[in-house]
């Protein structure tokens, strides 16, 4: 984590949204929420993404990823 930004590396190629879907699955699995609870809000075509996670309190996300901006 650098400057409050979580860095994630996925093996899926950035073709047809595969890398974005892989990232969303990774976050859902790591936070223990259904995949439908994690959605991409901004950055679909860029390297930096903004995601929204439903069903998890901000405090729980900060506890899992200390220093993350929420």
**Could you report the per-residue pLDDT of 1-11, keeping only the tens digit for each?**
556 778 888 88
pLDDT number for residue 36: 96
Residue 45: C-alpha distances to residues 10, 34, 48, 62 (Å): 15, 24, 9, 26
d(CA 34, CA 47) in angstroms, rounded, equals 24
Number of domains in the chain: 1
- Is pLDDT of 13 > 60? yes
- Is pLDDT of 33 > 60? yes
Q: Please count the other Cβ atoms lying within 10 Å of the Cβ belonging to residue 29.
A: 11
Domain CATH number, residue 24: 3.30.1200.10
Q: What is the mean pLDDT of the chain?
A: 88
Which one has a higher pLDDT value, 24 or 69?
A: 24
The mean pLDDT of 27-31, rounded to a whole number, is 94
- Domain of residue 28, residue span: 1-70
């Amino acid at each position: 984590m650098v400057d409050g930004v979580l860095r994630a590396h996925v093996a899926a190629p950035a073709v047809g949204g595969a890398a974005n879907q892989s990232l969303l699955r990774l976050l859902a699995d790591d936070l223990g929420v259904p995949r439908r609870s994690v959605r991409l809000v901004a950055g679909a075509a860029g390297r930096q993404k903004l995601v929204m996670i439903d069903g998890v309190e901000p405090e729980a996300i900060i506890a899992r990823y200390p220093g993350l901006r929420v």
